[in-house]
Chain A
Amino acid sequence: MSSLTMGKSSRLRVLTRLGFWFTLLVGFLLPWAIMLGVDTWVHQVPFSRAWRSFTLHLFAPGYNLFLVGVLTAIPFVILAIMILLHLGTIDSQKALIAHRRALGLLSAEVVMLAIAGWTHISVLIYPDAQGALAYFYLPALLLLSLPVGYGLGRALAKALLPRVTT
């Protein structure tokens, strides 16, 4: 066990705050950004038209892009709360544990973003009659991937981080 220097402690504090808000924002905006991105770059729709179509279908029956975004965001909201409570409440003197937790949460975030991004892009690029079902399964899949990603990050931290930090 070692104490954090003032600088490291301050960096982790900023990282916790930024991580919380970044996770929330990316959770809500990722699906919508992918929808606009696929329309613009894959389907070659001018951005202004893609934006108009997006806003038009945000609350439209049969599309409801707003709810698609909210469904995807639920696991990220849980991750954000985890960042706040799991990382934010750590004893500022326990540097090693703080770094291990930070790496675990970062790994969970990366895994979740990869799964969410891949799912949304696949649904939009390879449209299918049952494709929209993916939006309903995705939150459950992301919730399952959260502890898996966290565990991976902790394992990685255990292997890479030195036992004692100053």
Chain B
Amino acid sequence: MTDTTTSPTLLTAREITLHLTGLVLLLGLLGLWYWLSTGARVVPTLIEMLKDDDPSTRIVAAEQLGQIGPAAKAAIPQLLNQATQDGSQHANTTASAALKWIDLAAARRVMTHFATRLQDRDVQQRRTACAVLGSLGPVAKPAVPALLAATHDADALVRRNALIALAGIGIPPGPIGIALLAGLHDSSSLVRQTAVTQFAFTIPVSEDAAAALTAMLNDPDKGIATLARTALDKPKAGDAAHIESLGMMLGHSTARDYALHQLAQLGPAAREALTPILPLLDDDHPLIRYLAVETLAGMGQGAKPALVSLKQRRDSDPIVQAAMTDAVAALESGIAPSPVPAAGATPP
């Protein structure tokens, strides 16, 4: 203490150094806390949280596991249970959305479970099935025929959820676009509003859709008219600048899945983004690799330069490998991948 009392300054150099060291320690502790609370290290804790009685805890845990991605494989059994058995629809959808980032095969198991429920006698089961299938995104592509059938369901909420699910899946864009176009003329204003919302924010606007949306600009429902305007103001499907910006977004991890999903829905027009798509075939996330393959397949002859590379690849994920085999077959035969029938099972 002697140096303090005789110091020419308020604090001695030693005191200042000690305080700064304390600050560095505090920052280090905060960094350690963050490190221990994120990434694969927190998976065991999150698995425990999936067993919590409180649905909001299970929901947040599932969201965090989805963000961790393939490193959260240990959580698959618990997430499958939450996706298919949980009484809360939000818990079902968040668990399904997490699974698509962790393991595509597990996500497909959820899809199979709920695809059959689209014809359940219980209307709530059908509504939930649509919502869960939509949360799986493009991985639920095989469920598209059943969802197309659900767009003719007697219940408006089932039809609405089916349209949201179809927009969330996005591929193949042809039949999905037709179903959403039909949704613009649904007897329920809720379904019409949902359909126009998908054109405004989720799926590309085709020429047919643009014509229908133009007619909706004078809709007595101001909300629908505004959404139609938003959809029409969006960049057109073949807009070169739009495709270029989507291609640039592929380089950013946070926007990559959105950009790839948009490109996958553009079909042959996406060939302008071929160069930035090819490196994504080696991405760590199976979902990104799957979307990249689907985008290439949708390009048709525009993806011919990638054919040799696709044929030589062997993906560790069976779903990605199957998509790759289909894409190679389609590119070699010179036709687009097999279209999905517009009608499926009869609604209950």
Which residue of the partner chain A has the closest CB to B27? A77
The answer to whether A16 touches B37, judged by C-beta atoms less than 8 angstroms apart, is no
Instruction: Identify the stretch in A55-63, A124-132, A138-146, A152-160 within 8 Å (CB) of chain B at 4 or more residues.
Output: A55-63
Given contacts A56-B60, A60-B64, contact A89 B16 (CB under 8 A): yes
A91's partner among B9, B23, B34, B64 (CB-CB below 8 A) is B9
Q: Which residues of A contact B54 (CB under 8 A)?
A: 52
Q: Could you say which of A35-43, A79-87, A113-121 contacts chain B? A: A79-87
Interface residues of A in 1-45 (CB under 8 A from B): 6, 9, 12-13, 16-17, 20-21, 24, 28
Q: Please give me the residue from chain B that is nearest to A9 by CB atom.
A: B10
A40-98: which have CB < 8 Å to B?
Answer: 52-53, 56-62, 66, 70, 77, 80-81, 84-85, 87-93, 98
User: When A85-B16, A92-B7, A93-B8 are in contact, do A60 and B23 touch as well, CB less than 8 Å?
Assistant: no
* B74 beta carbon closer than 8 Å to chain A: no
| Dominant secondary structure at the A interface | helix
Number of interface residues of B (CB under 8 A): 29
Task: Report Cα–Cα, A62/B94, bound state, in Å.
Answer: 13
Assembly CA distance A93 to B8 (angstroms): 7
Q: Which of A52, A77, A88 has the most CB of B within 10 A?
A: A88
Chain A contact residue count (CB 8 A cutoff): 34
- Which A residue's beta carbon lies closest to that of B39? A59
Q: Are B10 and A56 in contact (CB under 8 A)?
A: no
Bound: A88/B62 CA distance, A: 49
14 residue pairs of the A-B complex, CB under 8 angstroms, read A9-B10, A13-B10, A16-B11, A20-B19, A52-B57, A53-B56, A59-B37, A59-B64, A60-B60, A80-B23, A81-B20, A87-B10, A88-B15, A89-B16
Known: A52-B57, A90-B9, A92-B8. 7 other contacts (CB 8 A): A13-B11, A17-B19, A59-B64, A60-B60, A66-B34, A70-B30, A84-B20
B interface list, Cβ under 8 A from A: 4-5, 7-11, 15-16, 19-20, 22-23, 26-27, 30, 33-34, 37-38, 42, 54, 56-57, 60, 63-64, 66-67
Which 9 residue pairs spanning A and B have beta carbons closest together?
Answer: A88-B11, A61-B67, A59-B37, A60-B60, A56-B60, A89-B9, A88-B10, A13-B10, A61-B63
